[in-house]
Structure 1
Amino acid sequence: MAAKFLIFAFLISQFSILTSVARAQTSTPYSGTPWPIPGIIEVEDFDLGGEGTAYHDLDSTNNGGQYRTAEGVDIGETSDGAGGRYEVGWTQAGEWLQYSVEVATTGTYSLTLRAGLVGYATGQGELHLEVDGVNVTGTMKTYTGLFWWQGYSTITVTGIRLTAGPHKLKLVLDKNASVGVGSLNWMLFDITDPPPAPVSVIYPDPVQGNIFYVAPGGNDNNPGTLALPWKTLAKAANALTPGQTVYIRAGIYRERLTPKNSGNQTNYIIYMAYPGEIVTIDGTGISIPPLEGLINVTGKRFIRISGLRVINSGVNVADGTWNMGISVQKADHVIIDGNFVSHIYSLGIDINQASSFIVVDNNEVTDANFGDTDGEVSLGVFWFSHDLLIKNNRVHHGKNEGIGAAAGVYDVQIHHNAVHHMGIGSDRIAIYIDAWTEHQYNIDVGANTVYDNTGQGIIAASEGGGLLENVNFFNNIVYNVGYSWGGIGIAPWTTTSSPTHPVQNINFINNTVYNNAGGGIVINNPEVKNIIIRNNIFYQNLTGNIKIDPVVPASEIIQDHNLTVNPQFINATAFDFHLKSTSPAIDAGSNLNAPNIDFDGLIRPAGSGYDVGAFEFGSTSPPASTPTPTPKTGDANSDGKIDGVDYMIWFNHYRQSVSGPSNGDFNSSGLVDGVDYMLWFNNYGR
């Protein structure tokens, strides 16, 4: 009898286990569809299904009282500036969260988990991630906030093998620190093998037959035609589908623009001012969540925002902290062009949270950060965003910094921007490249103009201990920068108490740096490695033209072919830094690592050697179209036109070591890089 009872009890226990497993697998995606991988998953966006099915929490109360208030998971607003509005906190060992995902491609992935502990915590929290019940990460540990902003850091695990198709992820909390396991913000999955084929960004134009209209005198019950337009931006944002455009008629719109749908690779969704009309989106009195914008593109793809006037974000509200003008997060293939952004509490334009293939072109940003106390920038790209093009923008008269690239961004081009009168009352930087706490690399900063800044000019740094490497500063013009630190350089600054600030493989080549209060180029970071200073003009900079601090190892600095005597500018008082025919800068440079075009996009060299400084004397544009077999510079497919097809060829080979114009290597240097892009850009349409 006892034996039968034991057998019966065993069967009951097995049935209980099986039904428990079955129940755990019935959770459903929070958004209605599985989260895509590669991509970002907010930790608070766990599945639907409730306690024991979608999650397990040790109590039934949402102790943070935010977001999913009917669930027992503890959710609060995050203080982490790395994106996302909420975080899961008050965590304890034994709890778990489950997510339905769809993996696009079989391959090897990396996981980046944004997590942290408050600074007074002792010990470390421990957790792991399971895929379909299998631990794929091993033990991950949360750290205190000693060296990291707001107590947060990033935990990275590589070599995770995933197969294409649907899966269940389970984030399992294993061990408490003194105050729980830690706060959890988001998970980022990137594919590392096979490397993904890039999809080029295109500039889409409105297509007749797919155009709708919004006007202040319209009605959302109208069909959205020119004669019978809609009234609100919200109507358009909710209605547009791939391939459709909304022309916004002149007027003031006191509402947010938040696109609901994505476009696709061949059919973008376009939000555009009606040609020739002034469209104003005014945020006065509109409550905007932290880390979001008056125009907010989150988790969307193939979108264009064009020609709009965006003002007063964070004005006349209870709390405007981290209220942006235009914000792009967790998005890809987005174009922000031709907009005017002004009087913004925090960032004017913010590209964040692993956004990719973003173009920010020909915008004007002014009076940003008016309410900010955190030293933010007017136009910024942050937190693992990549394949970014920031060009032709005018950024000026802001409280803090101008253009910033920080916190693990990579494959970024910043060129032909004008940045001036920044740091009003706060002595801030015009263009700042800062790794912060992450690995940041492959950044080209070229042909920008920086002037009349109360703070520094163009600076590279690693404030939080992340490695900054492979950065090129070329053909930039920096003048009349007023602060005592200098025009361009590498700084050892810290705001995180990090003991280390690694910076390596930085090139300063063919820049013109004139009349700056704190010196021409200043390098005082003792951890720098492999720094090249070549072909630059440093002239009439107060306190010195080339200032290398004694703490910097001399063996790590290469400086040659720089000019510190009178370069004979055409007219320095009128800020014309082209060279006179008698200039000692002519033919005085080196060809090593030098750009093959100058600030104006003209070919180097024009004479027997490369000139020093941002301009090449006597250079001409690439040859005009002639009926010869010689291909044009920038014409990758040799069809006689320099157009978007050639750009796509360049883009698909960017950062690859291949040779020849047919691969986008227009200067035949053996590497497809930003110089090749500028050759294409300056000949586009020819």
Structure 2
Amino acid sequence: MKNIIILIFLSLSQLASSATFYVATNGNDNNSGSIDSPFKTINKAWSRVSAGDIIYVRGGTYTYSMMPSTTLNNKSGTSGNLIKIWNYSGEFPVIDYSAETFTTQKIGIQMTGSNYIHIKGIRVTGIKQPVSGNTSQYGFLLWNNVSNCIFEQIETDHIGGWGVVIGDNCNNNLFSNCDSHHNADPYSTSSPYGGADGFESGSASSTNNTFRGCRAWWNSDDGWDLRIYNGTVTIDNCWSFWNGYRPGTSTPAGNGEGFKLGPKQSPSTTNVLRTVTNCLAFENYATGFSCLNAGYYNFYSVLYNNTAYKNRKGYNYSDAGMVTTLRNNIDYANGTVPSINAANTHNHNTWNGGVSVTDADFVSCSSSGIDGPRQADGSLPVLNFLKLSPTSDLIDAGVNAGLTYNGSAPDLGCFESGSGSTPPPATPVYVSSAIENATPTVIEMTYNLSLANVAPAASAFTVRVNSTTRSVSSVAIISGRVRLTLSGAVVSGDAVTVAYTKPSSNPLQTSA
């Protein structure tokens, strides 16, 4: 279904001095970095950017010989002018090291001392673990002092170690719609397969990091591993499944916890450090959701509206001192009943009584498609798996925990009923503009979704340069972007605003 864009933006300022650079598989680091003369590596483009600039990485496969480890160090944007490293609209860049055999540690993308960065739409895959040396690899590593960043639609897979790791002094970062899967470390001498998680942090100094709409599966150790992480973390609308096995098999490997949330390093605290909402953990080797002190230190946490299904144990909160509030959670078809210590507050969960749970409570108990492609906007696939049947007594059986709900009360579990199995068409969101030095009469505007090749009349756009109207000579849709050709050139330092009014024919619209 096509979606009509009624309004793009009003009074959006775009400084002509902001720069756009391109990286492509056929590029050369001696090039200028333009779309027609792209760089070969992200490292080269990184050396050229400053706050407000954007790097577009074209689609295709970047091997180790083409793009050795990417290091994004000691450079920052600002809160209003992030440095962006994005996949080119409609294209899929893959950093693939699978053709190489390594004897030392390799990192796909590493960041240090860089803040206000937005990385989007890049996959890192195939970094094999060295056979000897007890060395694990990293797909994506925030090593130190990386804060206020957005990591969107990042995929790390088939890494001989950890998929995504948050190191020290990394705060206020958002991981949105990211996937980390098929990561395993078979050659770790102390604990084979025990050091490969989807998302991991054991930092004593990082805090306020958020995961939203992410998935972790077929990791040989855990989906999320926050053991000895001292800071706050929010995990919302995330799925963790099939962890703790040798990827793609039923052979047990590492710990196998979907969401390992604790413990922390010294000292203990009564502050809430873990907030987990609307998350799904199923068919993990060990536990769906756990928070144990394991001889370390305690903290408080909250779990609202989560679902644990067919794990060996759904919820493990047995250790005294780990105080958790659990509400509106489903525990179904797990190997053993939840372990909840007496200090915890737990009510309106399936194990508290008042409801019964059977297969009939769900539209489907088939997980087919759970690891499949995401939607066009990067959000999780739309499935009927474990969504509540209209006749389920789990509907409206919860208590208000501060989350959005339909009906007279919240439902139990991670999927609120009444939202429907098919979402409305996504509305394209304006994300950036570029005016390049080589073409100073052309404005190219990018959206989060690809646009159909339907160009409105030039009269649909109003462009002002330094508050003076500049006529639009032509409009084109090129590679899913809007390209406006102006009657006169823009120079560095000009402030450009663009407004769009939906015409009666040929409005802007998505391609699907």
1:569 aligns with 2:361: yes
State the match for 1:307 in structure 2: 121
Distance in 1 between the 2:28 and 2:385 partners? Answer: 53
Match of 1:223 in 2: 32
- Separation of aligned partners in 2, 1:489 and 1:533: 13
TM-score scaled by structure 1? 0.49
Contact residue 418 and residue 449 of structure 1 kept, 8 A: yes
Gaps of 5+ in 1: 1-204, 493-500, 539-559, 625-686
Note the alpha carbon deviations across 1:531-581, whole angstroms, 9 max, x for none.
Answer: 01211124xxxxxxxxxxxxxxxxxxxxx5553465951435346544455
Aligned counterpart, 1:490: 317
Preserved contact between residue 562 and residue 612 of structure 1 (Cα < 8 Å): no
**Cα distance in 1 for residues equivalent to 2:72 and 2:239:** 30
What does residue 303 of structure 2 align with?
A: 473
CA contact (8 A) 1:535 1:613 kept: no
Q: Is the 8 A contact 1:207 1:243 kept in 2?
A: no
Query: How many Å apart are 1:585 and its aligned residue?
Result: 3.8
Instruction: Specify which of 595, 598, 612 is matched with residue 401 of structure 2.
Output: 595
* Contact 2:129 2:185 survives alignment (8 Å): no
Q: Which residue pairs with 1:323 in the alignment?
A: 137
Letter in 2 for 1:503: M
Q: Distance in 2 between matches of 1:564 and 1:602?
A: 21
Q: Distance in 1 between matches of 2:30 and 2:417?
A: 62
Count of residue correspondences: 369
Alpha-carbon distance change, 320 to 229 in structure 1, aligned in 2, over 3 angstroms: farther
Residue 23 of structure 1 aligns with which residue?
A: none
Structure with larger RCO (C-alpha < 8 A, sep 6+): 2
1:211 matches 2:17: no
Contact 1:444 1:472 in 2 (8 A): yes
- 2:122 alignment partner AA: L
2:262 is the counterpart of 1:434: yes
Tell me whether 1:522 sits opposite 2:336 in the alignment. Answer: no
Secondary structure of the structure 2 residue equivalent to 1:357: coil
CA distance in 1, matches of 2:330, 2:416: 12
Q: Secondary structure at the match of 2:185?
A: coil
CA contact (8 A) 2:173 2:210 kept: yes
2:276 maps to what in 1? Answer: 445
- Offset of residue 394 of structure 1: 1.5
Q: Is 1:368–2:183 an aligned residue pair?
A: yes
Task: State the Cα distance separating 1:366 from its structure 2 match.
Answer: 1.0
Highest CA radius of gyration, 1 or 2? 1
Choose from 220, 235, 241 the match for 2:50: 241
- Contact 2:361–2:394 (8 Å) recurs in 1: no
Q: Among 78, 86, 91, which residue is 1:277 paired with?
A: 91
Distance 1:380 1:295 in 2: 15
Change (3 A) 1:248 1:569: same
Q: CA deviation at 1:401?
A: 0.4
Q: CA deviation at 1:274?
A: 1.7
Corresponding position of 1:6? none
Corresponding residue SS for 2:201: strand
Please, which of 268, 290, 294 is the counterpart of residue 459 of structure 1? 290
- 8 Å CA contact 2:162–2:195 kept in 1: the answer is no
1:534/1:561 contact within 8 Å kept:
no
The Cα shift of 1:339 comes to 1.7
Secondary structure of 2:365's counterpart equals helix
Residue type matched to 1:522 in 2? S
Equivalent residue number for residue 164 of structure 2:
349
Query: How far apart, in 2, do the equivalents of 1:479 and 1:296 lie?
Result: 35
Residues 284-310 of structure 1, C-alpha deviations (whole Å, 9 max, x = no match): 5486976x7310011211112211110
Alignment pair present for 1:257 and 2:66:
no
CA contact (8 A) 1:314 1:320 kept: no
1:333 is aligned to 148
Shift of 1:249: 1.7
Aligned counterpart, 1:554: none
Q: Which amino acid aligns with 2:151?
A: I
Aligned mates of 2:395, 2:24 — CA distance in 1? 56
Change in 2 beyond 3 A, CA 1:364/1:581: closer
| In the alignment, structure 1 residue 358 sits paired with structure 2 residue 147 | no
User: How far apart, CA to CA, are the structure 2 residues paired with 1:230 and 1:522?
Assistant: 55
1:207-264 Cα shifts (integer Å, max 9, x gaps): 8752101122222221110111112222123222221111112232421111132222
Find the counterpart in structure 2 of residue 50 from structure 1.
none
For residues 374-403 of structure 1, the C-alpha deviation after alignment (integer angstroms, 9 at most, x for no partner) is 444211133132111101112111111001
Instruction: Indicate the residue corresponding to 2:212 in structure 1.
Output: 391
Deviation digits for residues 341-371 of structure 1, max 9, x if unmatched?
Answer: 1111111001121310111111111111333
Is the 1:286–1:317 contact (alpha carbons within 8 Å) kept by the matching residues of 2?
A: no
3-state SS of paired residue (1:229)? coil
- The root-mean-square deviation of aligned C-alpha atoms, in Å, is 3.1
How far residue 615 of structure 1 moved from its aligned partner, in angstroms, is: 5.2
What does residue 372 of structure 2 align with?
none
- What is the identity percentage for the equivalent residue pairs of Structure 1 and Structure 2? 22
Equivalent residue of 1:259, what SS?
strand
Residue of 492, 512, 532 corresponding to 2:345: 532
How has the CA–CA distance of structure 1 residues 207 and 293 changed in structure 2, closer, same or farther, with 3 Å as cutoff?
Answer: farther
Q: Does the 8 Å CA contact 1:503/1:529 hold for their aligned counterparts?
A: no
Bigger Cα displacement from structure 2, 213-222 vs 392-401:
213-222
Task: Describe the SS at the equivalent of 1:398.
Answer: coil
Q: In the alignment, is the contact (CA less than 8 A) between 1:437 and 1:464 conserved in 2?
A: no
Secondary structure at 1:243 match in 2: coil
Normalised to the residue count of structure 2, the TM-score between the two structures is 0.65
Deviation, 1:489, is 2.1
Secondary structure of 1:234's counterpart equals helix
1:592-631 alpha-carbon deviations (Å, 9 max, x no partner): xx4243xxx534xx23x555555556689xxx9xxxxxxx
What's the counterpart of residue 294 of structure 1? 108
Q: Structure 1 or 2: larger helix share?
A: 1
Displacement after TM superposition at 1:416 (Å): 0.8
